[in-house]
Structure 1
Amino acid sequence: MTTDITEFPQVPYKELRVTRSGPVLRAELNSPGTGNALTGTTLDELLALLDGLRESPEVRVLVLSGAGDDFCVGADRVDLESALDTDPRGAQLRGLGEKARRVCEALENTHAVTIARLHGRVIGAGVGLALFCDLRAAADSSRFRLPELALGLPPAWGGMLPRLLAEVGAARVRELVITGATFDASTAFTLSIVHRVVLAAELDTTVENWVKPLVRRPPEALRLAKLMLNAYAKAGRFMDGTLLDSHLFATALAAHRRTDPEAGPHR
């Protein structure tokens, strides 16, 4: 039986829908009118949820999905423009960027196995959010894009560039970032951005086929496996460049606004 979560921090969720069924926690981005664009509020709620997970070792699996027609169309442009209007030098933007980095870091490091259920548009920060999940399944009708350069931004949201390089490889990432071209779910599978591509009607079944054996795995072995996979994936890095991402993101957008006062981020 699925019940509203009660043992996590009592956050009055506005942009998430959170439910739990035994060891399985489900978090749905719940702003379908904006394509589940990620606001500061969304990031705060995700942080509260992930912080709560640290105190709940009995939760084995976290499924992340999106309400409505899309998984996530990226960072919310209204939030970004408002932050830039308030402080043209970018201090508030850096704050949003730091929240994004903390969310992605928490997704990567939580003891629970994280599963991204992807459909519709998966754009920019939406790609980044999905990439930090351990397993990713997409409907065959999903469409993906990294439009940051066209918006006057570096690919710096949440520390997704090193994750993308590790999962996909430098040559193909270079093409995705520089061209900003839209690509389909089949291409995302070929690039290892997703692990499964299925008919939209089969997406929930695919996710459940991952969930069922995971909840039977010995929890300590599962936790250690995640730690090992993360450690070996990062073994080749000499520094954590993601610590600079919020500064790069804010500096680039502020500079773009100065050179073109009418410019702003668009989804």
Structure 2
Amino acid sequence: MEETVPAGYENLKLEVADRCAVVTLDRPAARNALSSRLMRELIAVARELAERDDVDAVILTGAARFFSAGADLDDARTWADASLSISERRRITATGYRLCRAWEEIPQITIAAIEGYAVGGGLALALACDWRVAGEDAFVSLPEISLGIPLTWGTIPRLVNLLGPAKAKRLTILCERFAAPQALALGLLDYTAPSGGALALAREVAARALSMPPAVVRMSKESVNAAATVLNHAAGYMAHDQIALAAASEESRAARQAALRRSRPGARAEGRSV
């Protein structure tokens, strides 16, 4: 039985059929940038799906041939808004951390299907999924430091788990961009597909997982995650305080303004998002 999008989701599409859910980021005009509203919806849908016994695999993808341009910098003004209380700023800057943790904790198998690009917060979200599939002409990058803010959302521990410390530093500190074949060789991606074929391949991978006994799959995922992430919270729980501190600095403001000047008018992929 297939379902349409539930009431309350303005920036997402949700389809469920044959024990597989497909969640589509649906802000194509903003290149699926992760606004505060979209992040809250993604947290809500993760929690909704986690409670469902009729869903055993979840695919996360983006509308309009790109996954996500990252966190929406239109929301970034609040990170350094001195008129807000510390508690308010901590709540706002912790949204991305809660988002990625909610997706990491979904008990079903999760697969990110990436076309075009997954930049900044978009890649951070994909890294919270179990596996990543990308079109062969896609690319990934983490430009946060070039914009004067630290990489947060619990992403650094996930990168270290996947890649080891040296490669994690290349992505984080040097802000290197990797095309899909490079990202596959590096270990950031698990599969590549012909351009436009990421979702189809993600469905094939999901079908292989769905052919296994579902309860045992969930138990095994929980065991692997427990071993892999046991220290993640200790390494990342202060990240939202770091971003609020850094975003308020003059060097951070200057870096963001320089990035906006470099971007084309109306562009969001790397100028107005991260």
Equivalents in 1 of 2:252, 2:127: separation in Å? Answer: 32
Distance 1:245 1:142, change over 3 A: same
**Residue 24 of structure 1: aligned partner:** 20
Q: Where in structure 2 are the equivalents of 1:89-238 lying within 5 Å?
A: 92-156=88-152, 158-235=153-230, 237=231
**Residue 237 of structure 2: aligned partner:** 243
Equivalents in 1 of 2:7, 2:93: separation in Å? Answer: 22
Equivalents in 2 of 1:204, 1:238: separation in Å? Answer: 29
Aligned-partner residue type, residue 3 of structure 1: E
Equivalents in 2 of 1:205, 1:255: separation in Å? Answer: 44
Distance 1:148 1:259, change over 3 A: closer
Distance 1:251 1:86, change over 3 A: closer
* TM-score normalised according to structure 2 size: 0.87
Equivalents in 2 of 1:108, 1:89: separation in Å? Answer: 29
Shift of 1:174: 1.0
SS at match of 1:13: coil
CA RMSD of aligned residues (A): 2.4
Judge conservation of contact 1:148–1:177 (CA < 8 Å) in 2. Answer: yes
Shift of 1:121: 1.8
Q: 1:175-211 deviations in whole A, cap 9, x for unaligned?
A: 2222212221111101111101121143233112112
Judge conservation of contact 2:158–2:232 (CA < 8 Å) in 1. Answer: no
Equivalents in 2 of 1:258, 1:33: separation in Å? Answer: 27
Shift of 1:217: 1.9
* TM-score normalised according to structure 1 size: 0.89
**Residue 267 of structure 2: aligned partner:** none
Equivalents in 2 of 1:255, 1:34: separation in Å? Answer: 27
Distance 1:245 1:46, change over 3 A: same
Distance 1:251 1:62, change over 3 A: same
Structure 1 residue 75 corresponds to structure 2 residue 68? no
Q: 1:218-262 deviations in whole A, cap 9, x for unaligned?
A: 221011101111112135x38622211111111111124787498
Judge conservation of contact 1:84–1:92 (CA < 8 Å) in 2. Answer: no
Shift of 1:24: 0.9
Distance 1:222 1:203, change over 3 A: same
Distance 1:262 1:165, change over 3 A: closer
Shift of 1:35: 1.1
**Residue 51 of structure 2: aligned partner:** 55
Equivalents in 1 of 2:85, 2:254: separation in Å? Answer: 15
Question: How many equivalent residue pairs?
Answer: 261
Aligned-partner residue type, residue 2 of structure 2: T
Q: 1:23-45 deviations in whole A, cap 9, x for unaligned?
A: 11111010011111101101110
Q: Which structure 1 segments of 5+ residues have no match?
A: none
